[in-house]
Amino acid sequence: MPANALVAGALLAVVVAWLFLGLAMALALAPLVAFPLGGLFRLTGFIARGRDAVLSDVWSTWSSTWREMIGVGVALTLSSFVFTTNIVVGLAGDFGPATFVAVMAGWGLVGTWVYALLAWPILMDPDRVATRVRDRLRLAGLLAVAFPLRLLGFTLVIAVFLALSTAFFAAVLTVSLAFAALVVCRYVLPASDRLSARAGLAVPSVIAD
């Protein structure tokens, strides 16, 4: 619950900054959401791996992987902003090339968030801390290419669940984000282990044993 509340509070801070301080401030703060989000995925990764998880794991995660988290946060923020801007501009233009740009940007935005849903649990996987960051991110890309339709459907289910949970603000603050992260980890980590073994990549020791 505390880790869930940290993520919810960070997201709320970005929304408040957008409403009262403008888009530029919201974009500046958005990458910082990666810190509580990364900590949440580390905790749910421990649980998905069948281990005990304590809140102190969040602080150790921040100290050891802050570069990776801020890098992913900045990349997701910029790509989401670019794709969203292209969608808005394309829909406001004349039918034809502008619509094509909007459609392509829409698919780009969907692809970005499908990849993010894979990248966070793999990046924060407690059994892959010794694996290079670029190899973890590459594995997330390989997983997206290997099962695009299945992962798209899974992403939509998670998105609908989170959208519905916003109607119950208390749920968002306490459990819904953590529950979604746990479901994602329980789905993505075993799938990434199987793909690692099939592709000849490094396999977590808990699986290799």
Q: What is the pLDDT of residues 47-68, one digit of tens each?
A: 898 887 777 777 777 777 778 8
Q: Domain for residue 84, yes or no? A: yes
Whole-number pLDDT of residue 199: 63
Q: Is residue 209 part of a domain?
A: no
**Range of 86's domain?**
2-200
Judge whether 155 lies within some domain. Answer: yes
Question: What is the pLDDT at residue 209?
Answer: 34
In a domain, 110, yes or no: yes
- In total, how many domains does the chain have? 1
Residue 187 included in any domain? yes
Q: Is residue 117 part of a domain?
A: yes
pLDDT given at position 103: 86
Q: What is the pLDDT of residue 8?
A: 80
Q: What is the pLDDT of residue 174?
A: 63
pLDDT of residue 121: 92
Please check whether residue 208 lies inside any domain of the structure: no
Q: What pLDDT score does 161 carry?
A: 79
Residue 138 lies in a domain: yes
Instruction: Give me the DSSP letters along the chain.
Output: -HHHHHHHHHHHHHHHHHHHH-HHHHHHHGGGGHHHHHHHHHHHHHHHTT----THHHHHHHHHHHHHHHHHHHHHHHHHHHHHHHHHHHHHS-TTHHHHHHHHHHHHHHHHHHHHHHHHHHHT-GGGTTS-HHHHHHHHHHHHHHSHHHHHHHHHHHHHHHHHHTTSHHHIIIIIHHHHHHHHHHHHHHHHHHHHHHHT----HHHH-
Per residue of the chain (209 residues), what is the pLDDT tens digit? 777 788 888 888 898 999 998 888 998 999 988 888 888 898 888 889 888 777 777 777 777 777 888 888 899 999 999 999 888 888 877 667 778 888 888 889 888 988 998 999 998 888 888 888 888 888 988 888 888 888 888 888 888 877 777 766 655 556 788 888 888 999 899 888 888 877 665 555 544 33
